[in-house]
Amino acid sequence: MADIKSPEAIGKMRVAGRLAAQVLEMIESHIAPGVTTDAINRICHDYIVGDLGCVPAPLNYKGFPKSVCTSVNHQVCHGIPGPRRLKNGDIINVDVTVIKDGYHGDTSRMFSVGKTGVQARRLVEATREAMHRGIEAVRPGARLGDVGYAIQRYAERRHYSVVREYCGHGIGLEFHEEPQVLHYGRPGTGEELAPGMTFTIEPMLNAGKRHVRLLPDGWTVVTCDHSLSAQWEHTILVTGTGHEVLTRRPDEAF
């Protein structure tokens, strides 16, 4: 069961969400051919700690060695920043989670490196829209299955597959709380949503088959068929009438 946040906790979640969003805004201008994923990590870390006064939640989380996740091309999620240099045409997800005043804000987005191909662009855009469809399904009285169904239906109509092994999650004082937010499902099933719940929606869509495997580094998830994968993530609050996107950036409509 998802817990219901107090008004005080919701205020702190709003702050954490806004700060996480700022990290993605900040990093955009640094994404370019030749930049290493380690450099992206370092710039994010210094901004999170030095400018925002936050703690980067991934660092040392269950042994994760870096402050953000960077997942390139056929990497699905949880990529570890390292010496790899971005090249023209790559797509990369940067996943940022900050802790402020004990509360977590978790958000990720795709970036294009230089000029990407039409297939990569279509996948990235469809994944953003799939996340958006899931968010639009969030309101009191709806069920988690409605959210998953909205995402899956949109993705599969576009002939993309939805990764099953990783999901969204409740979030608050803990990084990963109940409930699990599946990105597939059947309408009218699952936990009923109520005002004050906070959770992430973070669909991963593959251009090929949905199957994934874990690399020997113990973290990086890749598509089995090496097809491209994309992911976008927001932290969402269920409000009295619908939802609030706590990690919304100023350029996003919602």
Task: Note the residues at the interface with ligand MF3 (CB under 6 A).
Answer: 58, 61-62, 64, 69, 78, 95, 97, 106, 200, 202, 219, 233
Residue placing its CB nearer to ligand MF3 in the complex, 170 or 196: 170
Residue whose token pair is 């900050």: 98
Dihedral sign for Cα atoms in the order 130, 136, 139, 143: negative
Cis peptide before 179 (omega within 30 of 0): yes
User: Which of the choices ligand MF3, Co ion, none does residue 64 contact, using the CB cut-off of 5 to 8 A by kind?
Assistant: ligand MF3
DSSP state of 131: H
Which residue number places its CB atom closest to ligand MF3?
A: 58
Residue whose token pair is 């990690």: 247
DSSP state of 36: B
Binding-site size, Co ion (CB under 5 A): 5
Residue placing its CB nearer to Co ion in the complex, 174 or 225: 174
Residue whose token pair is 């920043």: 81
| Residue 157 C-beta: closest distance to ligand MF3, Å | 25
Piece of the chain touching Co ion by CB under 5 A; list 55-63, 90-98, 130-138, 213-221:
90-98
Report which secondary-structure segment, H or E, holds 136: helix 118-136
Residue placing its CB nearer to ligand MF3 in the complex, 136 or 217: 217
Residue placing its CB nearer to ligand MF3 in the complex, 146 or 233: 233
Q: How far apart are CA 240 and CA 229, in angstroms?
A: 34
- φ, ψ of residue 45 to 5 degrees: the values are -60, -50
Piece of the chain touching Co ion by CB under 5 A; list 16-24, 29-37, 88-96, 148-156:
88-96
114 forms bridges with which residues in the sheet? none
Which of 90, 106, 146, 244 forms a contact with Co ion (CB under 5 A)? 106
Q: Is 200 in the site for Co ion (CB under 5 A)?
A: yes
| Residue 199 C-beta: closest distance to ligand MF3, Å | 11
Q: How far apart are CA 129 and CA 69, in angstroms?
A: 22
Residue placing its CB nearer to ligand MF3 in the complex, 91 or 98: 98
